[in-house]
Structure formats: C-alpha cells, structure tokens
Chains A and B, each alone.
Chain A
Amino acid sequence: MIGRRVGRAVATLSLVVTGGCFATRSDMRVLQGDILNFRTETARADSARARQIATVAASLATVADSVRATSDRLTRFQGDTRGELRAIQQQLLQVQELTGQSQRRLQEMRAEMEARTQVPVMPPPVATVPGDSLTAAPVQGTPGPNQLYQLAYDQLRRGSFSAARAGFEELLRSYPTSELAPDAQINIAEAFAAEGTAASADSAYAAVVSKYPRSPRAATALYKMALSMARQGRRPDARTAMDRVVREYPTSDEADLAREWLRTNR
C-alpha cells in the first residue's frame, strides 16, 4: 500500500522534473496539494498502525501477566504444599513419639503388674529352694516376661553384662514367643558389645535380623552390626550391612542414618 503511494508520488515528481519547463503555477499548487494529502494520509495510516501495534502489545502483556500470575500461583501453591507436607510430617512425628513413649510406659506397667500379681503366688511350695530360680522352668512364682526383661535390662544399664545376658537368654528360653523376644535378643548383642566381644555381638545382632525380620528391632540390629563391623575395620562387610538396612528397612530411622553413612564413607 505504502509502496503504491510512494510510486505515485515518485511518478508525479518525475513529471515535475521532466516537464518542469512547462509547469504552471496551478500545476505547482495541485502538486503541493497532492503532497500534503499524501503526508496526512501517511501520518493517519502510521498512527492507525501504531494503535494496532499498541493494542496487540497490550493484549500480549496481559497474556504475559496472566501467564506469570499463573506460574506465581503455581510456585506459591507448590511452596504451600511443601509447607503443608512438612506440617503433616511434623504431626506424624509427634504421634510417633507419643506412641513410643506410651509403649515404654506400657511395658513398665506390665512388668509392675506381673510383679504385683506374683507377690501372693510367690510363697507356695516349689520356689523355696534358694539359688535355682534362674535355672528352674517357668512355673508359678517365676518372673513373667516383662519382669524378667526389666530385671535383665537393669543389669545391662548398671554394667553387669553377663548377668544381663543370662536374664535375656532366660527370657528367650522361657518365653520364646513373647513380644519382648526381639528386644531381649538385641540386648544380648548389646551386652556382648559392651564387654568388647565384637564377634559374639555381631552374631547376636544377626540373630535379631534372621529370627525377627519384621520387628522394628531388626533394622536397629542390622545398623548396629554394620557400625560394629566398621569399628573392626571390616569396611566391605559394613557397607553390605548398611546397604541391607537401606534396602530392607527403607523407612526406618536406621535407613536414614545408613544412607548418610554410605554417602560419607565412600
């Protein structure tokens, strides 16, 4: 469009140049009028175009804004979701802690109950011979699993490791299906470890995993075994055990620690 107009103007101009000698005043006026017309027309066209461009630009900006707003909303949403997830995780942890605490209290209360119910049962005939209470079969008057566990655990804490071991072993012998069996088994390993007999400790830890693979103690035992191996300088064995913790008990606390150990002990 512009090209055509320019073409016409050029034609007019060339006419002026070639036929200049014949040009009259009125011709000049017409020409000037034409040029003026042409200028205003061009200006009008330009401003219309500018308006069009502005409109397009404006609508583009609106689109860009809404895109940005959407993406902001999205990141905000992501951020919020992350925050909420963290909050939920926090609440879960809280519940976990409380469960752990009540379980412990429960265990202690059970031990106490066993102790109380035994008081009247204690005197009757059998258990009057002194000194054989530990070797006697679990009959009336012998400690229940919770009480036995508590006694052995106290020995462990006060540093009487062999006595503690004997107690836990007695528990395993008398109450092999007790829910405290995995705890007894891992504490046998702990007693060995405290005495410095690493090999016995390791096999006792391994027994927790093989005998009670579904107990929460299994992950703990496996991790403790791995640490024990690392302390003995058995790096490859330690790595294998750590790998097992991560693979077999991926959601346990121990897996969390094992992952970090594997990362920092390449």
Chain B
Amino acid sequence: MAEKRRADSVAAAAAAAEAAARERALASTRATLAAAVYFEYDSDELSGDARSTLDAKLPILRANAGLRLRIAGNTDERGSDEYNLALGQRRAASVKRYLSDQGIDSGRMDIISYGEERPVVTESSEEGWRMNRRAEFEITAGGDALVAPR
C-alpha cells in the first residue's frame, strides 16, 4: 500500500518535471521566436548576428506550420519622423525577405512599420538608439498550438 503511494508520487513528480521541462522548452521557443533583430544606423541590412537570430527561428517556424508572424520594423529617434516610417518598413521587409529566402512561406508573415514611434528605450544615447533600431516579432496565429522543435 505504502509502496504504491510512493510509486504514485514518484510518477507524479516525474510527470511534473516533464511538464516543467516542456514548459521551459516552450518558453524558450517563444523567446527564440520573439527575439528582436538589430540594425545599424539608417540601414536595413542584416548583420551576422541578425542572421543568427533569424536562423534560430527557422526550426520553430518549420515545426509549426500554422504559425503566423507580424514583423514590426522600428528605428531610433534620429532623422526624419516620416522617413523613419519608411526605414522601419524596409527593415521589416528585409527580415521577411530573409526568412522567405530560407524557405518560410511569405504568406505566413505580415509586416508593419512603427518608425520611431514605439521606442523600447527613451534615453537619447548610442545604447538607447541601438536598442531601438530593431525588428520585432509578434505571433498573430498558431501561438496556442506552439510546439518546441525536436
């Protein structure tokens, strides 16, 4: 009797650990998917770092065929407010183009630009500007059924 109870609790603990591990994997999957890519001043070119960040998303996108993303381009506060909207659009488009060049169906990705209107850092410094020159990723569909790639 006592032995069975112990076995049960061991099994439950194992299941919980497994669930936690799954949850962790899922969380890290989400984080990988959401990881922003950063750009140089007045540029929409993807650096090596940016490519690696995007490459890490590829297996997730391949493992979740129902996943749809919105890619949002952003800029730092310098330069023309309006021109920065166009620059943000170009950044988002550049990310989408890279992902679709890597085989992700472009129909799964929408793009939008927020220009300099949505900074993550409001401080006017090189570091603040660097953090704001980014493309962000938002799941627009298929987020509930997300699975971690094997």
Contact = CB atoms under 8 A, between A and B. Distances in A.
B106 to A, nearest CB: 13
Interface centre among A72, A75, A76, A79, by most B CB within 10 Å?
A79
Contacts of B46: 83
Nearest to A72: B102
Interface in A39-86: 72, 75-76, 78-79, 82-83
A253 B103 CA distance: 32
Interface of B: 45-46, 97-98, 101-103
Main SS of the interface on chain B? loop
Contacts of B97: 82
Contacts of B103: 75
5 contacts: A72-B102, A75-B102, A75-B103, A83-B45, A83-B46
Interface string A74-114: 01101100110000000000000000000000000000000
Nearest to B100: A79
A83 B101 CA distance: 10
Nearest to A78: B101
A254 to B, nearest CB: 23
A76 B102 CA distance: 6
A204 B101 CA distance: 47
A72 B102 CA distance: 7
A75 B46 CA distance: 16
Given A72-B102, A75-B101, A76-B101, 11 more contacts: A75-B102, A75-B103, A76-B102, A78-B101, A79-B98, A79-B101, A79-B102, A82-B97, A82-B101, A83-B45, A83-B46
A61 to B, nearest CB: 12
Contacts of B101: 75-76, 78-79, 82
In the A-B complex, the 5 residue pairs with the smallest Cβ-Cβ separation, listed nearest first, are: A79-B101, A75-B102, A75-B103, A79-B98, A82-B101
B107 to A, nearest CB: 17
A78 B102 CA distance: 9
Contacts of A82: 97, 101
Interface centre among B45, B46, B101, B102, by most A CB within 10 Å?
B101
A40 to B, nearest CB: 32
A83 B98 CA distance: 9
Contacts of A76: 101-102
Contacts of B45: 83
A78 B100 CA distance: 11
B61 to A, nearest CB: 13
Nearest to A79: B101
A79 B94 CA distance: 11
Nearest to A80: B101
A86 B98 CA distance: 13
A82 B98 CA distance: 10
A88 B102 CA distance: 21
Nearest to B101: A79
Contacts of A83: 45-46
Nearest to A77: B101
A72 B101 CA distance: 10
B45 to A, nearest CB: 8
B149 to A, nearest CB: 13
A75 B102 CA distance: 6
A222 B97 CA distance: 35
B7 to A, nearest CB: 29
Contacts of B98: 79
A70 to B, nearest CB: 13
B98 to A, nearest CB: 6
A246 B142 CA distance: 44
Contacts of A78: 101
A37 B98 CA distance: 62
Contacts of A72: 102
B43 to A, nearest CB: 11
A78 B101 CA distance: 7
